[in-house]
Amino acid sequence: MHVFLTGGTGFIGRNLVEALLRRGDRCTVISRSGTDLWKRPEVEVIRHDPKLKGPWQRTVNGCDVVVNLAGERIVEPPLRWTAARKTRIRASRIATTNRLVDAILEAEQPPRLLLSGSAIGYYGPRGDQAVDESAPPGTDFLARLAAEWEEAARPACTKTRVALLRTGLVLGRDSPFLASLVPLFKLGLGGPWGDGKQWLSWIHIEDVVGIILFVIDRQLDGAFNLTAPNPVTVEQFARTLGKALGRPAILRAPSLLLRLALGEAADALLNLQRVLPARALEAGYQFRYPQLDGALSSSI
């Protein structure tokens, strides 16, 4: 199988490419830097900005699957969501998806599946309400961004199947999310943020890759929540991470402090969702890491 990827050099993309190679698949990765992380004949790296039109779009023709994971990081302390940063965050997702869809629609041999990135921010703030893929989108910035990102992928439905990957907070070794937390916790400076009662919907990288391969192999489409079946509160998450590191987890980062430091970007840490992977479970996917303690133990 030949897989074309955007965002292939990111955390999820790198792990997905490695899994595809282990299966004997070929990969073409488009990257702004052109960095070849693999240096293997089964991987072709194209240097180009996927937000822009170019000859790279012809490479989509004849590929079996396209995986669209490109997107600038949402939370990048100490960067706030200025108007310019919001524009970059949006363009890194929407413009790239538009260019990919254009390539698919113009292909003489279109791929049989487009897996396009999204995020559980799609659902907006939900408090304690548990949501699955049937829930409507929210109305805040992250929800509107995710909904527009998904909408940009939908025109490809006229030429191929489309699956939407609503991804939660991803754990695993080298996880960007954990990279910002583990050093603080190791120093005994970690703990919950906000009131600690908000829900955190997490997933281990092995299950992110596992669900993506599951969707490909089972020829599935539609929206999938890439989250573990057992979300936890931020309080529970901090306590479990502290236990895994053998450190206390009692210091709090109050909401006011996060608002002062990050402005509106603090929403990504405070306005969370309790998300369930209903469609993956219904289709028969078996989670490798259904519980947080096991996922964290393999991530640190």
* DSSP 8-state class, residue 10: S
Q: Is 47 helix (H, G, I), strand (E, B) or coil?
A: strand
What count of other Cβ atoms lies within 10 Å of the Cβ of residue 87? 10
Strands in the chain per DSSP E:
2-6, 26-31, 43-47, 65-68, 113-119, 130-131, 161-167, 169-171, 199-200, 202-204, 222-226, 232-233, 274-275
| Per-residue model confidence (pLDDT) at position 78 | 61
pLDDT over 80 (residue 75): no
Residues forming beta bridges with residue 27, ordered by sequence position: 3, 43
- Using one digit for the tens of pLDDT, what is the confidence trace for 142-194? 999 999 999 999 999 999 999 999 999 999 999 999 998 999 999 999 999 99
Furthest-apart CA atoms within the chain: distance in Å: 59
Give the C-alpha separation, 163 to 116, whole Å: 6
Residues forming beta bridges with residue 202, ordered by sequence position: 169
Tell me what the mean pLDDT of segment 63-85 comes to.
87
- Using one digit for the tens of pLDDT, what is the confidence trace for 183-206? 999 999 999 999 999 999 999 999
- Give how far Cα 234 sits from Cα of 2, 144, 190, 253, Å: 40, 24, 12, 11
Give the C-alpha separation, 50 to 29, whole Å: 10
Please provide the average confidence, as pLDDT, over all residues in the chain: 95
Evaluate whether the domain defined by 2-170+202-229+275-288 bears CATH number 3.90.1150.10: no
| Per-residue model confidence (pLDDT) at position 291 | 98
